[in-house]
Structure 1
């Protein structure tokens, strides 16, 4: 069972984030868009944290987060957006639908280790 689900349409970004998290003791699963992310979450009840891009084909990260909170009724999983989007309106929408955190790319792993470990019950 994975603790963290990384959702990004960029294979390079998925690899960077997954590699860093794996090297730091996290069990990681991947998805290539929001639709795939929902499917992965449904298959793995051990996921405690989702790190997702916002802009992706098929289903964007905010729509995925909204579906997790409303359609799946999952209020426990933490959702962190890792994106180039730094628009205040988009961030506000994220907060409204239950996004836990917002990280503007580039990904600086060391800065998130503490919070991510806490989210996953590893701290």
Structure 2
């Protein structure tokens, strides 16, 4: 009987600790940044090259948004190499954009950065 009560108290204490940890996590994750804060760095939209404008269908985009749209395009057109999934096999649109037949997913940020002019260039 003593063992059963110890198990019950241990289980109750664990449940209480898990509940308070869950409440703390929910409280800390409920912070929503203000929409009035300016976007900076990779999140800031900027002008893109004419080739990327044609691919995206818009004249401005952030680097993160561009990479998300590029991955969506790659997945929807099934362009990952079936033998080595970390490689992307370019279709005509990607060949025109990147001048490559095939590239690794690790190359994507560098390939995308070429299409964002530096400050002062347009």
Q: Same fold (TM over 0.5)?
A: no
Asked which structure has the greater RCO (Cα within 8 Å, sep 6+), the reply is 1
Give the number of the structure whose residues are more often helix, by fraction: 2
Larger Rg: 2
Give the number of the structure whose residues are more often strand, by fraction: 1
TM-score band, normalised by shorter chain: under 0.3
**TM-score (norm: length of structure 2):** 0.26
